Structure 1
Amino acid sequence: MTVDPRWQHELEAPTEQFFGSFAAQLAQPDGVRDGVREAVKALAPRIDWEAYLPHVPHGILGLRAVLRLQPLLSEAGFRRALATQLHMAAHEGRRSPQNLAQVSAAKGSGQWRNLEAFIQSRRPGLAYAEAQGFDVPAEDDFQRLRGLTELDMATVGHKAVVCDHLADLHARLERPKATGRRLFGLAAWVAATPEDTFWARRAAKRLGDAAVSVPWVPATLGEAAWESQVREICDLGLVALLDPFTARLKAGQGSGDTLAALVLAASEKQLDARRDLEGKTAWTYVYLAAVARARPADPRIWCQAAALVNLFPTDEPEERVRAAHIGEPDAGALTEAILDVEPALAMAHAGGLARTGRAEAALAALAEAAAQDDPTFNHAHQVLAVAAAADLLPELPPPAGEAMLVALAKSLANSQGSGDLGRLADRALAAARP
Structure 2
Amino acid sequence: MTVDPRWQQELEAPTERFFEAFAAQLAQPDGVRDGIREAVKTLVPRIDWEAYLPHVPHGILGLRAVLRLQPLLSQGGFHRALATQLHMAAHEGRRSPQVLAQVSAAKGSGQWRNLEAFIQSRRPGLAYAEAQGFDLPGEVDFQRLRELTELDMATVGHKAVVCDHLADLHERLERPRATGRKLFGLAAWVAASPEDTFWARRAAKRLGESGETVPWTPPVLDFSAWEAQVREICDLGLVAVLDGFTARLKAGQGSGDTLATLVLAASEKQLDARRDLEGKTAWTYVYLASVARARPADPRIWCQAAALVNLFPTDEPEERVRAAKIGAPDATALTDAVLDVEPALAMAHAGGLARAGRTEAVLSALAEAAAQDDPTFNHAHRLFAVAAAADLLPDLPPPVQEAMLVALAKSLANSQGSGDLGRLADRALAAAGRS
Task: Give the TM interval when normalised to the shorter protein.
Answer: over 0.9
**1:130-177 per-position Cα deviation (integer Å, ceiling 9, x unaligned):** 000000101000000000000000000000000000000000000000
Gaps of 5+ in 2: none
Which residue pairs with 2:71 in the alignment?
Answer: 71
Which residue pairs with 1:310 in the alignment?
Answer: 310
Is 2:173 the counterpart of 1:160?
no
The DSSP-based 3-state class of the residue aligned with 1:154 is coil
**1:1-38 per-position Cα deviation (integer Å, ceiling 9, x unaligned):** 00000000000000000000000000000000000000
How many Å apart are 1:417 and its aligned residue? Answer: 0.6
How many Å apart are 1:337 and its aligned residue? Answer: 0.1
How many Å apart are 1:209 and its aligned residue? Answer: 1.0
Task: Tell me the percent identity.
Answer: 88
Alignment of 1:2-81 (within 5 A): 2-81=2-81
Alignment of 1:314-353 (within 5 A): 314-353=314-353
The DSSP-based 3-state class of the residue aligned with 1:156 is coil
How many Å apart are 1:224 and its aligned residue? Answer: 0.1
> What's the TM-score once normalised by structure 2's chain length?
0.99
How many Å apart are 1:105 and its aligned residue? Answer: 1.1
Corresponding letter in the other structure for 1:53: L
The DSSP-based 3-state class of the residue aligned with 2:134 is coil
| CA distance, structure 2, for counterparts of residue 308 and residue 72 of structure 1 | 28
| CA distance, structure 1, for counterparts of residue 99 and residue 390 of structure 2 | 38
| CA distance, structure 1, for counterparts of residue 95 and residue 329 of structure 2 | 49
| CA distance, structure 2, for counterparts of residue 400 and residue 126 of structure 1 | 43
| CA distance, structure 1, for counterparts of residue 110 and residue 218 of structure 2 | 40
Corresponding letter in the other structure for 1:165: H
The DSSP-based 3-state class of the residue aligned with 1:296 is coil
Is 2:149 the counterpart of 1:149?
yes
Which residue pairs with 1:274 in the alignment?
Answer: 274
Corresponding letter in the other structure for 1:401: Q
| CA distance, structure 1, for counterparts of residue 303 and residue 346 of structure 2 | 32
How many Å apart are 1:294 and its aligned residue? Answer: 0.1
Count of residue pairs brought into register by the alignment: 434
The DSSP-based 3-state class of the residue aligned with 2:429 is helix
| CA distance, structure 1, for counterparts of residue 356 and residue 396 of structure 2 | 16
| CA distance, structure 1, for counterparts of residue 22 and residue 220 of structure 2 | 48
Corresponding letter in the other structure for 1:90: A
| CA distance, structure 1, for counterparts of residue 279 and residue 363 of structure 2 | 17
> What's the TM-score once normalised by structure 1's chain length?
1.00
Which residue pairs with 2:239 in the alignment?
Answer: 239
How many Å apart are 1:104 and its aligned residue? Answer: 1.1
**1:95-146 per-position Cα deviation (integer Å, ceiling 9, x unaligned):** 0010011101110000000000000000000000000000010100000000
| CA distance, structure 2, for counterparts of residue 243 and residue 273 of structure 1 | 25
**1:30-51 per-position Cα deviation (integer Å, ceiling 9, x unaligned):** 0000000000000000000010
How many Å apart are 1:340 and its aligned residue? Answer: 0.2
Structure 1 runs (4+) deviating above 3 angstroms are none
| CA distance, structure 2, for counterparts of residue 20 and residue 211 of structure 1 | 57
How many Å apart are 1:211 and its aligned residue? Answer: 1.7
Corresponding letter in the other structure for 2:367: A
The DSSP-based 3-state class of the residue aligned with 1:94 is coil
| CA distance, structure 1, for counterparts of residue 116 and residue 209 of structure 2 | 27
Q: RMSD of the TM alignment (CA)?
A: 0.5
Which residue pairs with 1:175 in the alignment?
Answer: 175
Is 2:362 the counterpart of 1:362?
yes
Which residue pairs with 1:104 in the alignment?
Answer: 104
Which residue pairs with 1:257 in the alignment?
Answer: 257
| CA distance, structure 2, for counterparts of residue 430 and residue 213 of structure 1 | 53
Gaps of 5+ in 1: none
Which residue pairs with 1:284 in the alignment?
Answer: 284
